[in-house]
Chains A and B, each alone.
Chain A
């Protein structure tokens, strides 16, 4: 038996860092009678960056939201650090502390400044001292290159700036996994770059990232693994070099030819 580092979290105590940090197995999800996810299985290891691509309506957002417990599933299992997300005994808060999510529409709190947006959850949820949180929040705002915008309200920031505040806000909770759902889809082409730069830095620092994106260049460069989904199933997946050059499924090839 090899030496294993035990997870510090109380639940999922059997989980060790050499196992997948996020593990989906045969996940089925329906809205009413419409099945949106039809048996999705994928594993993400600690520090990995995976990109999920696929046509609109193929269930990418639903998948991301299930990992965070924002949506429930009907069948299958989703484990984060060995802990079953849909376990009715599981305190969703414990899960969400490990998993940060950034949305397409930023969803900042419009009545709070950038700094307060970042500070709110650590102060209220983690009950950390305000001074410490403020220090960390300022550092995070600097990290996403928004120094000087601490006191700006979301309405006074551009889309790209708001999105970076949203990333800082998620990071302030010290998640182990970050989920990004088409975070650049609503942005102007010029501001897309600055957001991608921030994510790329995060990835290079070893943050585990699950990204839904249409930025193929970015996926090719940053991802360890690319998944193509269509109509609720994973059609094809692989390391980016192989995926982008030797895609075998006709659906994947058609999608790539449209988007590249």
Chain B
């Protein structure tokens, strides 16, 4: 791949001055690819974490305990109403200061890396919205459907996992799609705690090579591509899960 495109971009630079160095200099190429890989992992794991938090949060909100409900409500308020960048900084610098260091044989490293902090922080940020999204989905599942499951002797947990959640998930999916796309875009903020994702790595490239416009363009294209793929995937899921004979 690299061998194939390198001559073209080298030539392009020599003739026009457009410096897409990540496509012809092996060192910068590796930096770029590793940035992409880390961004994709960050997007994937943040989404997974936010979904888990969303499911359990929504479940906790339907719990009897007012304390539990109050805690989840406070969590949602706190994380929906503060900027995600501040949240990242808070987690990394404020909480990070209290996490133990591990001996790596001579030097010390924090137990939780900046990458892990980014996933935790972004998962919690996206999760705050997912709790609300799932909760309204759960509320839209008719009581009578749950009651039918109850009358068939299914346990509370079985009713939740086999009836309520699958239906709530389908109802939630359009709103969820929006939030997950927004979360995918927000992962670029991990830049502020030095996670070497694509924004961070391209920033290093353009600092070294003074080719800001070209690298910015790449960054844009990367996010356009990733977000359209994610959206296409989620819309495909929406169509796949659509209930035959319902709604349309």
**B244 and A125 contacting across the interface, CB-CB below 8 Å:** no
Please tell me which one of the listed residues B144, B153, B244 contacts residue A173 in the complex, with CB atoms under 8 A apart.
B153
Contacts of A103 in B (CB 8 A): 144, 147-148
Contact check, A107 vs B148: say whether CB atoms are below 8 A apart.
yes
Would you call B212 an interface residue if the criterion is a C-beta within 8 Å of the partner chain's C-beta atoms? no
Question: Is residue B108 contacting chain A, with contact meaning CB distance below 8 A?
Answer: no
Which residue of chain B is the closest to A122 with respect to CB atoms?
A: B152
Q: How far is the CA of A103 from the CA of B142 in the complex (A)?
A: 14
B170 neighbours in A (Cβ, 8 Å): 111
Closest CB in chain A relative to B209 CB, distance in Å: 53
CB distance from B158 to the nearest CB of A (A): 5
Interface string of B224-248 (1 = CB under 8 A from A): 0000000000000000010111100
B245 near A154: Cβ-Cβ < 8 Å: yes
Complex CA–CA separation, A4 to B244 (angstroms): 51
- Let me know if A109 and B163 touch, CB within 8 A: yes
Q: Which residue of A lies closest to B147 (CB)?
A: A70
Q: A121-B153, A125-B158, A169-B152 are in contact. Are A153 and B245 (CB under 8 A)?
A: yes
Tell me the residues in window 69-118 of chain A with beta carbons closer than 8 Å to chain B beta carbons. 70, 93, 96-97, 100-101, 103, 105, 107-111
Count of interface residues, chain A, beta-carbon cutoff 8 Å = 27
- Contact (A155, B151) CB under 8 Å given A103-B144, A107-B144, A124-B162: no
Q: Are A153 and B243 in contact (CB under 8 A)?
A: yes
| Contact, CB under 8 Å: A97 / B153 | yes
Q: Does B73 contact A (CB under 8 A)?
A: no
Chain B residues within an 8 Å CB radius of A107:
142, 144-145, 147-148
Nearest B residue to A126 via CB reads: B153
Closest partner residue, chain A, to B148 (CB atom): A107
Q: Give Cα distance in the complex from A110 to B150, angstroms.
A: 16
| Residues from chain B with Cβ under 8 Å of A111 in the complex | 166-167, 170, 241, 243
Q: Which residues of B contact A109 (CB under 8 A)?
A: 145, 148-149, 163, 167
In the complex formed, the residue of B with least CB distance to A100 is: B151
Are A125 and B153 also in contact (CB < 8 A) when A111-B170, A154-B245 are? Answer: yes
Q: Give every chain B residue within 8 A of A125 (Cβ-Cβ).
A: 152-155, 158
At the interface, yes or no: A141 with Cβ under 8 Å from chain B?
Answer: no
Residue A68 lies at the interface, judged by CB distance under 8 Å to chain B: yes
CB distance from B148 to the nearest CB of A (A): 4
In the complex, the answer to whether B246 meets A170 with C-beta atoms within 8 Å is no
- Given the complex, which residues of B lie within 8 Å of A169, measured CB to CB? 152
Residue contact B147 to A124, C-beta cutoff 8 Å: no
- Kindly state the separation between the CA atoms of A170 and B155 in the bound complex, as whole angstroms: 16
CB distance from B81 to the nearest CB of A (A): 34
The answer to whether A155 and B144 have CB atoms under 8 Å apart is no
Are the C-beta atoms of A108 and B148 separated by less than 8 Å? yes
Instruction: Point out the residues of chain A lying under 8 angstroms from B153, CB to CB.
Output: 93, 96-97, 121, 125, 173
Question: What residues of chain B have their CB less than 8 Å away from a CB belonging to chain A?
Answer: 142, 144-145, 147-155, 158, 162-163, 166-167, 170, 241, 243-246
Residues of A whose CB lies within 8 Å of any CB of B are: 68, 70, 93, 96-97, 100-101, 103, 105, 107-111, 120-121, 124-125, 153-157, 166, 169-170, 173
Q: Enumerate 23 A-B pairs (CB-CB under 8 Å) in ascending A order.
A: A68-B151, A70-B147, A70-B150, A96-B151, A103-B144, A103-B148, A107-B145, A107-B147, A107-B148, A109-B149, A110-B145, A110-B167, A111-B170, A111-B243, A120-B154, A121-B152, A125-B152, A125-B154, A125-B155, A155-B245, A169-B152, A170-B152, A173-B152
- Taking A109-B167, A125-B158 as given, write out 13 further A-B residue pairs in contact, using a Cβ cutoff of 8 Å, ordered by the A residue number: A105-B144, A109-B145, A110-B145, A110-B167, A124-B158, A125-B152, A125-B153, A153-B243, A154-B245, A155-B243, A156-B245, A170-B152, A173-B152
